Chain A
Amino acid sequence: MDFGFTAENDAFREEVRQFIADHITPEVQAELKQSRLKGPGPLTKELLLKLGEYGWIGMSWPKEYGGQERDLIDQYIFEEEFVRARIPLDLNNILEQAPAIMRAGTEEQKKYFLPRLVKGEVTFALGYSEPSGGTDLASLKTRAEADGDEYVINGQKMFTSGAHHSTHLYLMARTDPELPKHKGISIFLIPMDAPGITVRPLWTLAGGRTNEVFLENVRVPKDAMLGEKNEGWYVGASALNLGRAGARRYYTYISAFENIVHFIKEQRATGLDLAADPAIQDKLAELYSEAQVCRLFTLRSLSMVRRGMNPPYEISSEKVWGPDFHVKSTEIITQILGPYAQLWEGSEWTPREGEFAKQYVGAMVSTFAHGSVQVMRDAIARRGLGLPRG
């Protein structure tokens, strides 16, 4: 076991910090903050180019697709520094579909999408969940029917974040309703401006936007399909798996906790001691230990993937512990801040621009997005411990 970082790792961390100091100006930060609502703006695209010059995009990808084949630890360090500096640039999200395209795409698809993805010229919205099911994703109903050289797509997608500003939809649709549910699904890469696509906003409690997407007789050429026909479940499932590990994920869960600790210290300097009660100190120390488990679970998954292992249940554990911690920590934070915790941005009394209120109502998303904590517990029990199916 080795819980330390090498001198090279530390040097790289320093390099990333320097990059942040040099290139993440307040203007870039301001634009990035809007990117969830508006998509990558001009400064973000410039930043992506700059990151590309440093070789920090697709750091761990194969060289033939523009990657650097760098150690996953560098990727981890890079992400950790960005998230800790509160820079809302989610490369994981921008690049989430790249590994699937590398693995399953045709040469033409790779040549078209990969270079554009790394420059932010192509962005994908994920068309997975539907009104009748998200956690039980494989029962999706959206249909893609062959018609000559084309497919005709009809159906509805839900919780399609970024659909209003993305260039493409990464769509899961049923291509064979006769086959068992996991076997008749295919993936399509569809331009969002294709006729027949309508996007409607769904506003979230935390002030964000997601969407529902209606597909009505959307016609796409056959080469819009990614991978083999009816193999889409397996292409999509592996892409989802990659999104479940990484420094960004663990940090998302613990950032509210780290911020309340900073906030308490900041306030104490101005004469308000929010943690004067030892009971509050005890609770925060409890959260501290549990936050370390979030970090260590991520490092465990990382260690396993680096050794070429396929973690049988560990990534699911990460995805149970982290989200549950996230929710628990935000609940405790509201009890530490009391009435201040209810304030949105806009008052001089609002702590941290309303971040704590946003985290409080937003944390629930962790426990159901990308597989609910219940489904993750099923996976630990069945895949990890070999318990029988009910």
Chain B
Amino acid sequence: MDVLLDEYEAMLKRTAREFFERECPPALVRRMETDEELGHSVEMWRQIAELGWLGFALPQAYGGEEAPLEQLGLLFEEIGRALAPLPFLSTMAPALTLAEAGTEAQCLDILPRVGRGDLLLTWAVMERDPRCTPDTIHTEAIRDGEEYVISGSKLFVDQFHSADRCLVACRTGRDISLLLLDTNSAGIASTLLPTLAGDKQSEVVFDRVRVPAANRIGEAGQGWPIVERMLERATALMCAQIVGATRKAVDMAVDYAKWRVAFGRPIGAFQSIQHMCADMVTWVDGASLLTYEALWKLSHGLPASVEVAAAKSFCNERCQAALRHANQIHGGVAQIKEFDLNLWYRRAAAWTMKLGRTFEHRAKIAQALELSSVSSSA
């Protein structure tokens, strides 16, 4: 029991921070917001592949380093801090799922290329209903000989326009199956959505898209538990990103309070501002500890759905509150586009809106505490 970072973890985090501070200035983040093609930095993707970060958490058998999830989480925290425009979460979540549930042939085909930075992945689960439960999945995959034929539509698919493969949760009869499809397959139409964070999320429509049955991940009809684990991992990593970005906004606000003068003194000398700062750091510290515990439990194969739900619902609420304080301490400039704070504000806030709303996560906790008499629909 020692909840602090060990020497290696601290070094890893420092290395990542230094890399992104050097390579990812706010100007790059801004440029990628209006980039009409990829919306991510190809050069930086290449660089982190060379640093070994893309294969960092992948199995050694497929060219990875098999680092534990909490260490990958530290990289995500620094990506969040830098707002690095990279398709890292969208690629890593399905890659880890493949590593866990894919056949050897599937892993051999995909994972080494992911690790080298040659293949981008993404995943598509959510449809119209923002709850991610099996009954909200209507996209259908019908078996036709050695193929599945997919029809339906998905929403808020990250980086779909640049991804090479997409892991899609489909209804096969009463149950859910997972299919990995080539994003260039015939019958796919995607439309970019105008988002708060200026990132690339799409609506994707499948019209009789044919996928080889060999591309099914896991057994037919057995896809939902795999999806749940993917979402849990992705949610915990998303929390790490939120914590990283919020921490940066807090640092900016505390720094601003030290030099911004009003009524003849730095505003940080006023107790009302000091107490806001004390609360911000307490909240983001709490979010960080909950996130680390969730990641640690996941990486040790322990049940962690309650920990993930606690981390995400806490991040949703308290990191938003910390961002609100950061804006308030900055005052008028917080609303100005040219001023950098809003880059962190918009992204961290947008991340709180994805991968489970506060209410769903809390409902899950209530169920685990046996407070609700309603049984899960899952």
Contact = CB atoms under 8 A, between A and B. Distances in A.
B371 A261 contact: yes
A1 B278 contact: no
Interface stretch (A27-35, A106-114, A302-310): A302-310
Given A284-B369, A385-B254, A293 B289 contact: yes
A59 to B, nearest CB: 16
Nearest to A321: B282
A273 B357 CA distance: 26
Contacts of A4: 1, 296, 300
Contact of B271 (A276, A313, A316, A378): A378
A381 interface: yes
Given A317-B285, A380-B282, A381-B274, A289 B268 contact: no
Contacts of A304: 4
B229 interface: no
Interface in B268-314: 268-271, 273-275, 277-279, 281-282, 285-286, 289-290, 292-293, 296-297, 300, 307, 309-311, 313-314
B289 A296 contact: yes
A285 interface: yes
A386 interface: yes
A203 interface: no
B365 A387 contact: no
A206 to B, nearest CB: 27
A285 B362 contact: yes
Contacts of B1: 2-6, 9, 73, 299, 302-303
A289 B4 contact: no
Contact of A1 (B6, B285, B364): B6
Contacts of B5: 1
B140 interface: no
A316 B274 CA distance: 14
Most buried by A among B278, B296, B300: B278
A6 B2 CA distance: 11
Give the most central of B1, B5, B365: most A CB within 10 Å.
Answer: B1
A307 B7 CA distance: 12
A286 interface: yes
A377 B274 contact: yes
Contacts of A288: 310, 365, 369
B363 A380 contact: no
Given A284-B371, A303-B3, A377 B269 contact: no
B293 A3 contact: yes
Interface in B191-241: none
A180 interface: no
Interface in A289-343: 289-290, 292-293, 296-297, 299-300, 302-304, 306-307, 313-314, 316-317, 320-321
Given A285-B369, A293-B290, A388-B268, A278 B314 contact: no
Contact of A276 (B282, B362, B373): B373
B297 A285 contact: no
Nearest to A390: B269
A152 interface: no
A307 B2 contact: yes
8 contacts: A280-B371, A281-B366, A285-B369, A288-B365, A320-B279, A386-B254, A387-B268, A387-B269
Given A278-B366, A297-B285, 4 more contacts: A1-B3, A1-B9, A300-B289, A314-B285
